Structure 1
Amino acid sequence: MKLSELSLEPGEKFDGAELERRFDRGMTGRGIEICYDEDDQRYLRLFSSETGPYADDVTGGQFTYIGEGRTGDQTLTAGNKYLANAIEAPLPIFFFHRGSGDGKWEYQGKVEVLRCEKGPFDSSDRDVFRFTLQRRRDARERVDPVEAGADLASPERTESTRSRVIRNTQQALDLKERYSFTCQVCGARRRRAVDQGYAEAHHLKPLGKPHEGPDVRSNLLVLCPDHHADFDYGTIAVDPDTLVISHAYEQSLDGTTLHLREDHELDGTYLEYHNRNIAQF
Structure 2
Amino acid sequence: MKLADLSLESGERLSSSDLRDRFDRGMTGRGIEICYDDDDQRYLRLFSSDTGPYADDVTGGQFTYIGEGQTGDQTLTGGNRFLANAKDRPLPIFFFHRSDGDDDWEYQGRVSVVDYDSGPFDTGDRTVYRFVLERHYEHGEQVDDAEATPDLSAAERVETTRSRVIRNTTLATDLKERYSHTCQVCGERRRRGVDEGYAEAHHLRPLGRPHDGPDTEGNIVVLCPDHHADFDYGMLAVDPKTYTIAHAYERDIDGTELFVRADHDLDGSFLDYHNREIASF
TM-score (norm 1): 0.93
Secondary structure in 2 matching 1:34: strand
Report the AA paired with residue 50 of structure 1.
D
Larger deviation: 24-33 or 122-131?
122-131
Secondary structure in 1 matching 2:246: strand
Aligned equivalent of 2:210: 210
Whole-Å Cα distance in 2 between the matches of residues 143 and 234 of structure 1? 39
Deviation, structure 1 residue 195: 2.5
Report the AA paired with residue 54 of structure 1.
Y
Aligned equivalent of 1:25: 25
Unaligned runs of 5+ in 2: 146-157
Whole-Å Cα distance in 2 between the matches of residues 160 and 17 of structure 1? 39
> CA 1:174–1:102 in 2, change beyond 3 Å: closer, same or farther?
same
Aligned equivalent of 1:152: none
Report the AA paired with residue 187 of structure 2.
G
Whole-Å Cα distance in 2 between the matches of residues 44 and 195 of structure 1? 28
Residue correspondence of structure 1 range 175-194 to structure 2 within 5 A: 175-194=175-194
Larger deviation: 188-197 or 98-107?
188-197
Whole-Å Cα distance in 2 between the matches of residues 29 and 102 of structure 1? 16
Residue correspondence of structure 1 range 59-78 to structure 2 within 5 A: 59-78=59-78
Report the AA paired with residue 20 of structure 2.
E
Larger deviation: 32-41 or 184-193?
184-193
1:258 matches 2:258:
yes
Aligned equivalent of 2:141: 143
Deviation, structure 1 residue 194: 2.2
Aligned equivalent of 2:273: 273
Aligned equivalent of 1:43: 43
Larger deviation: 116-125 or 103-112?
116-125
Secondary structure in 2 matching 1:21: helix
Aligned equivalent of 2:79: 79
TM-score (norm 2): 0.93
Deviation, structure 1 residue 125: 2.1
Whole-Å Cα distance in 2 between the matches of residues 84 and 159 of structure 1? 20
- Superposed CA deviations along residues 170-206 of structure 1, whole A, max 9, x for unmatched, are 0000100111111101111111222221110000011
- Superposed CA deviations along residues 230-274 of structure 1, whole A, max 9, x for unmatched, are 100111111111101111111111111100000111111110111
Whole-Å Cα distance in 2 between the matches of residues 69 and 159 of structure 1? 34
Report the AA paired with residue 34 of structure 2.
I
Unaligned runs of 5+ in 1: 149-157
Whole-Å Cα distance in 1 between the matches of residues 275 and 51 of structure 2? 35
- Superposed CA deviations along residues 133-152 of structure 1, whole A, max 9, x for unmatched, are 000013xx3535x979xxxx
Aligned equivalent of 2:165: 165
Aligned-residue CA RMSD (Å): 1.6
Larger deviation: 82-91 or 123-132?
123-132
Deviation, structure 1 residue 210: 1.1
> CA 1:267–1:132 in 2, change beyond 3 Å: closer, same or farther?
same
Whole-Å Cα distance in 1 between the matches of residues 228 and 222 of structure 2? 8
Residue correspondence of structure 1 range 106-145 to structure 2 within 5 A: 106-122=106-122, 124-138=124-138, 141=139, 143=141
Aligned equivalent of 2:4: 4
- Superposed CA deviations along residues 201-220 of structure 1, whole A, max 9, x for unmatched, are 00001111111111110000
Whole-Å Cα distance in 2 between the matches of residues 192 and 278 of structure 1? 29
